[in-house]
Chain A
Amino acid sequence: MTFVMPDSSRPRLVGSAGEAHDRGMQPTYSPPRAGISLTGLEKSFGPVHAVRGIDLDIAPGETVAILGPNGAGKSTTIDMVLGLSRPDRGEVALFGMNPTDAVAAGAIGGMLQTGSLIGQLTIRELVRLTASLYPNPHGVDEALALTGLADIADRRTEKLSGGQTQRVRFATAIVADPELLVLDEPTVALDVEGRHAFWSAMRNFARDGKTVIFATHYLEEADAFADRIVLMAQGRIVADGTSTEIKARVGMKSIRATLPNAPMDKVSALAGVATAEQHGDAVILTCTDSDTALRGLLAAYPDAHDIEVLGANLEAAFLALTGDPVDNLITQEALQ
């Protein structure tokens, strides 16, 4: 796993196709040019520097999650991958083509973040319309079956629930049978059951050796469905690795305990503790293994009390990874 520190001055390629190969995710090796390659991408909107230098190579057949809080630059990056927005600097190559040509060739399918459906059509008609635009689409009935829409396929698109709408949007994305499927926060409007159905349909699609990129701010989703997680914060990639690696890094729990006059050097050296901080009488231990750390803490300091174990906080983890002061503009975006 490569961690790219945000302040590193020279751009580094992280998670190359070769790595993917080494991890055994891609049985037949393909050179990086055959996949997706983002080089030095930057994009600003007025004063907001939304994307600040993204370098990323994705091998064909990989399922990659772009994980990050709101305002991390995920959607902006995805818009540039899809050719909906032009980078200020840098380059996007999709299977050796620029986004416009890749889209024209029918190689790209996508489900964008915002959006509902156009009206005056039934679900089946809308999926058929989309299929008709692509050179080599899947069968409409198969796409409807795969997304669990077969039973309501003759219903008008204006009369659907949020979850159904989302599934129709997914059906229109996969009916294209694209080489690359891009999903921008696809499960944002779904309940638990809807998410489950969505991802099992996704798995069937990815099984055909297609490349999938999806943006999410749910660590659990990225963990469960991606081969690889790219962590974004404040317009940069801050970490890139397998889900296990990323989870270990951002999934860190912390222990808070009241322990007056704690010898911080000894506390931070406890097994399972990554960092220790002192806040008045309290100590806060950020842990790679909170169970081990807690046992060690109690064994060494039986007078520690008011102990709390706090779950992984993704936002906090992002801030920890990106280092200090949060960009005001980004924070404002995240608050919206």
Chain B
Amino acid sequence: MTSVTATLSTVATAPVKPKKPSPLTYTRYELLRTFRNKRFMLFSLAFPLLLFFLVAGPNRHQKLGGINFATYYMVGMLSWGSMAAVIAGGARIAQERSVGWHRQLRITPLPVRTYFATKILSGYALASLSIVLLYAAGISMGVHLSAVHWLELTGYVLVALVPFAVTGIVLGHLLTIDSMGPALGGITSLFAILGGAWGPLASGGFLGTAVKWLPSYWLVKAGQTVVGGSAWPAQAWIVIGIWTAVSIRLAVRVYRHDTQRV
């Protein structure tokens, strides 16, 4: 190991001005890590697509809730798929914690804000891929939307995903790597079912009213209202806003407390 004899003093004497570190490198490598994790990618993207083809395929000439079945199901599956993707993006923190990376990062000058933003961004990167794939699948099954509707659909879905992206971070700091699989599967399925992503729930009654306070309800509705032509009501913004605020507070809290060895 002759290279060990190299010394840092030559570098140290070079006149270097202290500069504010740029978060770009960290963010770039985090994204790279997300896309290099092939198995994680495959499972995050495959199931919504698979379910879409299995269910929408045979029923593509039907109508559901007054909407073309394929369109309805594409919106449902993209809500579920993108939601699962943003949550999983944050929940990967559990894996980093298992190797002590959360403690290592904590003794670097990385600002908490950059850390959160990067985690949310990598979740969104994966969700975007899921959305694009489902659009392609939808188009192949005869989904027809105007350019404005495609854009509106995308915009509303991306907004409605914010609380889930933050929830992913919360889960990543709370869960261990062992509990992650079942917890994520359960939580995303529950949000999806109650939100109506897998099929319409009976409206009215206690459940019908209660689910309207779930962000996943409005995530699914975001798509349906766009393709059905009606606007997103004020309640949607309020619910998304509340869930976002609460999940951010929780995320900050669990992050602060999560300094111990796992």
Within 8 A of B (CB), among A188-221: 197, 200-201, 204-205, 207-208
The answer on a CB contact under 8 Å between A118 and B96 is yes
- Interface size range of chain B in the complex: 35 or more
A132 and B99 in contact, given A110-B107, A145-B3 (Cβ under 8 angstroms): no
Q: Are B99 and A118 in contact (CB under 8 A)?
A: yes
Whether A110 touches B104, Cβ cut-off 8 Å, given contacts A128-B25, A136-B16, A207-B9, is yes
Closest to A81 in B: B107
Assuming the A-B contacts A110-B104, A134-B109, are A119 and B16 also in contact, with contact meaning beta carbons closer than 8 angstroms in the complex?
A: no
A204 touches B7 (CB 8 A): yes
Say whether B100 contacts A112, CB under 8 Å: yes
Q: CB of B259 within 8 A of chain A?
A: yes
Separation of A109 and B107 alpha carbons in the complex (Å): 7
CA distance A200 to B3 in the complex (A): 11
A129 and B260 contacting across the interface, CB-CB below 8 Å = no
Residue of chain B at shortest CB distance from A208: B12
From the candidates B19, B33, B106, name the one contacting A119 in the complex (CB within 8 A).
B33
Chain B residues near A142 (CB-CB < 8 A): 6, 8, 10-11
A146 touches B4 (CB 8 A): yes
B224 to chain A, nearest CB (A): 36
A197–B259 CA distance with the chains assembled, in angstroms: 31
Known: A128-B25, A177-B12. A134 touches B108 (CB 8 A): yes
> How many angstroms between the C-alpha atoms of A82 and B102 in the bound complex?
13
Which of A130, A174, A200: most chain B Cβ within 10 A? A130
Q: Are B29 and A148 in contact (CB under 8 A)?
A: no
**Cα(A176)–Cα(B110), bound, Å:** 12
Contact residues, A108-147 vs B (CB, 8 A): 108-110, 112-121, 125-126, 128-130, 132-136, 138-139, 142-143, 145-147
Smallest Cβ-Cβ distance to B9: which chain A residue: A208
The 4 closest A-B pairs by CB, nearest first: A115-B100, A132-B25, A120-B33, A116-B99
Known: A115-B101, A204-B4. 10 other contacts (CB 8 A): A83-B107, A112-B103, A118-B95, A118-B96, A133-B109, A138-B8, A142-B10, A148-B1, A182-B107, A204-B9
Q: What are 26 residue pairs bridging A and B, where the CB atoms are less than 8 Å apart in the complex? A: A82-B106, A85-B260, A106-B21, A106-B109, A110-B104, A114-B100, A114-B103, A120-B32, A120-B33, A120-B34, A121-B36, A125-B29, A128-B29, A132-B26, A142-B6, A142-B8, A142-B10, A145-B3, A145-B6, A146-B7, A146-B8, A150-B3, A177-B8, A177-B12, A207-B7, A208-B9
